[in-house]
Structure 1
Amino acid sequence: MAAVRYAHKWAYGRNPAFYDYEKLGGDCTNFASQCLFAGTGVMNYTKDFGWYYIDSNQKAPAWTGVEYLHQFLTRDPIAQGPVGEEVDLKQVRPGDILQLSFSGERYQHTPVVVAVGVNIRPETIWVAAHSYDADYRPLSSYEYQQLRCLHITGVVFP
């Protein structure tokens, strides 16, 4: 729930502790990573393959890259940091991560699930995001070709 609270607080603003990558390709995965960090409190400082943010020039590719975040969350073997798995849409919960492909070729957007209705479908899943700043935006309002759901299963502490 800490990830969701963070998402609500910063959906329409920028936390000054983190660089805003909006003009450098987008800030969505940076925002999703900030939410995950708010929920877990753990980074993985493994060079290149970890998930961390020190400053705008010292960060892991997984902190800001859509595909790299997916690779980090679903890594094998499991290492320090948040852990996730791909699930069906009906299994998403608040605090989970979605990844959207607008072109159908690669994933380009990473919103954070902030609420889920009783009958789970795109109309009853609400997200927060940067790069198209939003909070409580229905998933159904996006025009996407493919959807990838990443359920956060836990966190590995040092």
Structure 2
Amino acid sequence: MTIIINFEYNVVMNKYDRISAINYAQKYALSPNPNFYHFGGIGGDCTNFISQCLLAGGCNMQYSSNGWYYNSSYDRSPSWTSVSELHNFLLNNKKSGPHGEIISLNSLEIGDIIQLKQNTSRFNHTVIITKIQNGEIYVCAHSNDALHRKLSTYNFIELIPIHIIKIP
């Protein structure tokens, strides 16, 4: 079954549209977009949600065996829904679509993402920054849905701040 993705995002811009990404995050943080499968019951939906935000920010899908894309719950890249696979894709992508660079926490901007290691041996959660105010970072997320949750309220043992860049 193919799901038609029908929402507004700007793919003609040559840079990542952070405002569109966070507007999407705010709209669907607590009520998932019905045009995408919700993976909450089978491992979590956090990275699926973040991928949707990146798409809404104008990042092009990359249809290849090691790319970043979503057609349906059964036809998607591992990087669309897996924390570690998205991490690897973002840091290594040199083709069209989103690219990420690890930066310091105080250099992050709205629309950037953070991956968290929460009492496990691996990173297992991805969130998107939707507000930075008085030095406090606020995020939106799925799998424990959150709208403008303070990053400081998460229980994590390590984090990776990733600055998002769009590759045309």
- Aligned equivalent of 1:43, options 36, 55, 61: 61
TM-score (normalizing by structure 2): 0.86
Q: Distance in 2 between matches of 1:140 and 1:15?
A: 27
2:143 is matched by which residue type in structure 1? Answer: S
1:139 correspondence with 2:151: yes
Q: Which runs of 4+ in 1 moved over 2 A?
A: none
- Aligned equivalent of 1:65, options 82, 88, 93: 82
Q: How far off is 1:41 after superposition?
A: 4.2
TM-score (normalizing by structure 1): 0.92
2:111 is matched by which residue type in structure 1? Answer: G
Q: How far off is 1:74 after superposition?
A: 0.6
8 A Cα contact 2:130 2:139, kept in partner: yes
8 A Cα contact 2:131 2:137, kept in partner: yes
Q: Give unpaired runs (5+ residues) of structure 2.
A: 1-18
Q: Secondary structure at the match of 1:43?
A: coil
- 2:51 alignment partner in structure 1: 33
Q: Distance in 2 between matches of 1:40 and 1:75?
A: 19
8 A Cα contact 1:104 1:146, kept in partner: no
2:47 is matched by which residue type in structure 1? Answer: T
1:102 correspondence with 2:115: no
Q: Secondary structure at the match of 1:53?
A: coil
Q: How far off is 1:14 after superposition?
A: 1.1
Q: How far off is 1:117 after superposition?
A: 2.1
CA RMSD of aligned residues (A): 1.0
Percentage identity across aligned positions? 43
Q: Distance in 2 between matches of 1:118 and 1:45?
A: 40
Q: Secondary structure at the match of 1:58?
A: coil
Q: Distance in 2 between matches of 1:75 and 1:86?
A: 11
2:147 is matched by which residue type in structure 1? Answer: D
1:149 correspondence with 2:149: no
Q: Distance in 1 between matches of 2:90 and 2:133?
A: 25
1:112 is matched by which residue type in structure 2? Answer: I
Deviates more, 1:23-32 or 1:99-108: 99-108
1:85 correspondence with 2:101: yes
Q: Distance in 1 between matches of 2:127 and 2:36?
A: 17
Q: How far off is 1:71 after superposition?
A: 0.6
